[in-house]
Amino acid sequence: MSWTDERVELLKKLWGEGQSASQIAKELGGITRNAVIGKVHRLGLSNRNTGATKSDASDKANKTASEPAKVKPQAKEPEQKPAPIPARRQIIPAGQPLPPQPSANEISPEALAKVTEVEKKAKKISLLELTERTCKWPIGDPATPDFWFCGLPTQSGKPYCEAHVGVAFQPMNTRRDRRRS
């Protein structure tokens, strides 16, 4: 089925009358509801008033064929500006220090020193080598071949080793204190 000028005009007329895509597909014949919807969108007719009631629809259905159809002009909506694209986060290569994080002041220097020491001893495993018992702390840039996971034995009930748990999880009282200030 091809969209001839006559079929497009009939589509516009029926759409302007408020008929559904299914009704229009039946009227045109040999076409699906989805084909009608696609053509409506390509023609820019998709913004029609949806304030019609059931009685309005039945009144339209009862119109005689001799009555000329009134096609309402489509009101153009003001163009919306696209949402700004957020800046990409900076990816820090493996082995480079991270910039100060919002919660970094709450992590003790001992915990950070412990992490540095643990990462020297880490197994440096890939994603496919991770198990329930291996530390899943990611290290480096995932887009580079230097990316790896810690791989040391996990702390019971946690996804990370002892050193990474100390960095990842804050004690409850620290969070409560921060909320009060």
Predicted TM-score (pTM) of this structure: 0.37
DSSP structure string for 155-167: PTTSSS-HHHHHH
pLDDT tens-digit map of 30-75: 899 999 988 988 888 866 655 544 445 455 555 544 455 555 556 5
Amino acid identity of residue 110, one-letter, is: E
What are 129's two structure tokens? Answer: 């080598």
Once rounded to an integer, what is the mean pLDDT over residues 131-135? 91
Element at 139 (helix H, strand E): strand 138-139
Q: pLDDT-based confidence at 104, cuts 50/70/90?
A: very low
Average pLDDT score, the chain: 76
